[in-house]
Amino acid sequence: MTDTQPRFGRLYLLLYPFTALAVAINLFMLGLMWQAIGWPALSPVTALILCVPLGIPINWATTRWVQGLIDEAEGRK
C-alpha cells in the first residue's frame, strides 16, 4: 500500500455519513410505502435512529466497492 492510496479505515469514516443518510432516506421512503398495506408510517426521527446501526454494514460494502474502483483506476487490479 502506498501513501497515495487511501486506507480502508479513513475511507470508511469519510463515507459513513453519506451512506448512513442514504439508509435513513431509504428507510423513511419504505415507511411511506408501508402505508399502502395498512402499517403506520416511519417517522423521520425513527429512520435516523435506525440508520446508525444499519449504516455500518452498508458502509462496509460501499467502502469495499469504492476501494475496488480506486484500485482499478490506479491499475492495481
Which distant-in-sequence residues (6+ apart) come within 8 Å of 12 by Cβ?
59, 60, 63
Global pTM exceeds 0.85: no
Q: What is the pLDDT of residue 43?
A: 93
Per-residue pLDDT of 5-55, as tens digits, reads: 668 999 999 999 999 999 999 999 999 999 999 999 999 999 999 999 999
Q: How confident is the model at residue 76 (pLDDT cuts 50, 70, 90)?
A: confident
Helix, strand, coil % in the chain, rounded to nearest 5: 80, 0, 20
Question: How far apart, in whole angstroms, are the C-alpha atoms of residue 20 and residue 59?
Answer: 7
Q: What is the pLDDT of residue 7?
A: 87
Question: How far apart, in whole angstroms, are the C-alpha atoms of residue 12 and residue 8?
Answer: 6
Q: Are 68 and 77 in contact (CB under 8 A)?
A: yes
Task: Summarize the confidence of residues 48-64 as an average pLDDT.
Answer: 96
